[in-house]
Amino acid sequence: MRKWLRNLGVLLALLLISSVLPQHYVHAATNERVTIRLHKKLFDQGETPDDVVNNGKSDPFVGGEPQNGAEFAVYDVSEAFWAEKPKNKTEIRQAQEKLAQDDFVAGTPLKRVTTAGEGTASFTDLKLKHGSHYAVYLFRETATPAGLTRSQNMVVVLPITDKGTAMTPIEIYPKAELRSETIALDKTITNGRQDFDYGEAIPYRLQITVPADIGTMRSFILTDQAAQELTRVGSLEVQLDGQTVSPPFYQVVSTDAHHFKLSFDVDRLIPYANQQLTVDYQMFIEATVAPDARLFNQTTLYPGSDDPLNDATVVTTSGKNFVKVDLKQSKKHLAGAQFIVSNQAGQYLAKTTTGWRWQTVAQPSQNYRAAGLYTLTSDHQGKFALTGLKAGDYQLHEVVAPKHYQLSKKAVSFTIINGEFSDPQAQPLAIANLKEPTKTKPNQPKDKGTKKKTGRLPQAGEQRALWAGVTGLLLLALVLTLVFKRKKQTH
């Protein structure tokens, strides 16, 4: 407070110096009306100059930024001032300080003006005189942007002169300091995840605290740049203090599928100082992205001449490698097996123009083609891969078995883990099939009855067997005959 009183005293001493001059040295403006322009300047804490005074003509302060959105009221306090009957500089200053106190009852203001443009509030058509005396005006800051200190009350005793002539306009520079509140930028993904399916909507949100000194800024620009593999879908939604706003609160300076740039109307932001500005939008990962790639999206805020603020997020997608093998010979890889994929919700994977879609299908093993489900097929090395899914638990369902192998009726559960797909040490998940049993010819039944004569001629082998039998019988008969004759002779 002492600091402001010192400033006030210096300011008022200058403004009053002409009022103690002999009246015949002062020449009033022709129309006896004056304009007083207030230029509100903002300084960082502790940087408000103490040793520089107003001169009524030009900006006496080094540094500082124009501050819009501050409302000033002007009061005619001529009667209260001259009632003190000041006779010298000391008494004039004492009278001014008395009227500058906050508890002084000033009555109804003549007008109220809010600083705009270059932090200026112009009070036009003010009377140079009040009755037989020169007019005295009190200026009070009646509305202060959030986060700023209020300017000191100012008592201006007319006329302010330049070379003996009453000046108009009169330029006055009230000062203010910035409180400790600071600007903040926070970029998040609202569902709290970092990994997504191909084509799945990624909900981004930008949260910005509108700075307390927004009125001092010539510009307030927001840019967002994403990786080329991230594509924006839908429109931007901008809110101030929870309420949706649209142009002219901001202008879309440039935009494409991976980038946008917004320029905000500083004057329109002034009533929202220290409030939340949010920007919501969605993007998706394109189906050309390799699993485990890190996709950056960076936002930059340019708050006037202050240093830019940056924040970024990273998203990724994942995958899984598989190999089809023989159940009994694990090094034998099988081609031509086909699978469909389901998630924990019992939905099945289908392909779209931008990525993946999960859908419910009745009897998927029979209807997968009609339903347009995505199928994975093992190549000549038995390999196949599933890419572009977020980490989690899934199942494979075999719908076509490799040639000469049995179709597996049991679903195969598997887990996708971030970073595993691109890890050279990670082994593919082996999925085995049992070979179909070898087919053999059935045994011929034995002949239990008498064979029917077929009337066919005996074949060559059969003929030889027949003659051998006849020859044997003849030899046996000859032997028996000789034996019989030999016994007869002995008797």
CATH number at residue 241: 2.60.40.740
Is there a contact between 214 and 181 (Cβ–Cβ < 8 Å)?
no
Q: How far is 359 from 348, CA to CA, in rounded Å?
A: 5
CATH number at residue 420: 2.60.40.10
Laid out side by side, the sheet with 383-389 consists of 383-389, 318-326, 429-433
* Amino acid occupying residue 468: A
Residue 465 is inside which H or E element, if any?
helix 460-490
Q: How far is 149 from 105, CA to CA, in rounded Å?
A: 22
pTM of the model: 0.65
Q: Clarify whether residues 201 and 151 are in a common domain.
A: no
pLDDT of residue 2: 31
Is there a contact between 325 and 386 (Cβ–Cβ < 8 Å)?
no
Q: Clarify whether residues 171 and 254 are in a common domain.
A: no
pLDDT of residue 212: 80
| Final residue before a domain boundary, out of 177, 206, 230 | 177
Q: Clarify whether residues 280 and 332 are in a common domain.
A: no
* Amino acid occupying residue 142: T
In a domain, 231, yes or no: yes
Q: How many independent structural domains does the chain possess?
A: 3
Q: Clarify whether residues 7 and 107 are in a common domain.
A: yes
Q: Is residue 248 reached through a cis peptide bond, with omega within 30 degrees of 0 on the bond before it?
A: yes
Q: How far is 144 from 376, CA to CA, in rounded Å?
A: 66
In a domain, 67, yes or no: yes
Angle, helices 2-16 vs 89-100, to 10°: value is 130
Is there a contact between 148 and 30 (Cβ–Cβ < 8 Å)?
no
User: What is the domain range of residue 333?
Assistant: 318-433
Q: Clarify whether residues 209 and 295 are in a common domain.
A: yes
Give the number of C-alpha atoms closer than 13 A to the C-alpha of residue 124, restricted to the C-beta side. 2
In a domain, 368, yes or no: yes
pLDDT of residue 8: 40
Q: Clarify whether residues 288 and 217 are in a common domain.
A: yes
pLDDT in tens, the chain (491 residues): 333 333 443 344 344 434 443 333 344 444 589 999 998 877 655 555 554 456 566 665 556 778 888 899 999 999 999 999 998 989 999 999 999 999 999 999 999 999 988 889 999 999 999 988 999 999 999 988 766 778 889 999 998 888 878 888 998 888 766 555 568 899 999 999 999 999 999 999 999 999 887 877 889 999 999 999 999 999 999 999 999 999 999 999 999 999 999 999 998 998 898 899 999 999 999 999 999 999 999 999 999 878 899 999 999 999 999 999 999 999 999 999 999 999 999 999 999 999 999 999 999 999 999 999 999 999 999 999 999 999 999 999 999 999 999 999 999 999 999 999 999 999 999 999 999 987 766 665 555 555 555 455 555 555 555 556 666 667 666 666 666 666 655 55
Q: How far is 67 from 148, CA to CA, in rounded Å?
A: 10
The counts of H helices and E strands in the chain are 6, 33
Is there a contact between 144 and 170 (Cβ–Cβ < 8 Å)?
no
Q: Clarify whether residues 310 and 322 are in a common domain.
A: no
Q: Clarify whether residues 429 and 329 are in a common domain.
A: yes
| Final residue before a domain boundary, out of 433, 455, 486 | 433
Go through 152-174 and write b for each residue having 16 or more CB atoms within 10 A of its CB, e for each that does not.
Answer: bbbbbbbbbbeeeebbbebbbbb
Is there a contact between 220 and 287 (Cβ–Cβ < 8 Å)?
no
Q: How far is 412 from 400, CA to CA, in rounded Å?
A: 14
| Lookup result for tokens 């959105």 | 69
| Final residue before a domain boundary, out of 274, 290, 315 | 315
Neighbours of 235 (CB within 10 A): 10
Q: Clarify whether residues 161 and 299 are in a common domain.
A: no
Q: Clarify whether residues 148 and 260 are in a common domain.
A: no
In a domain, 482, yes or no: no
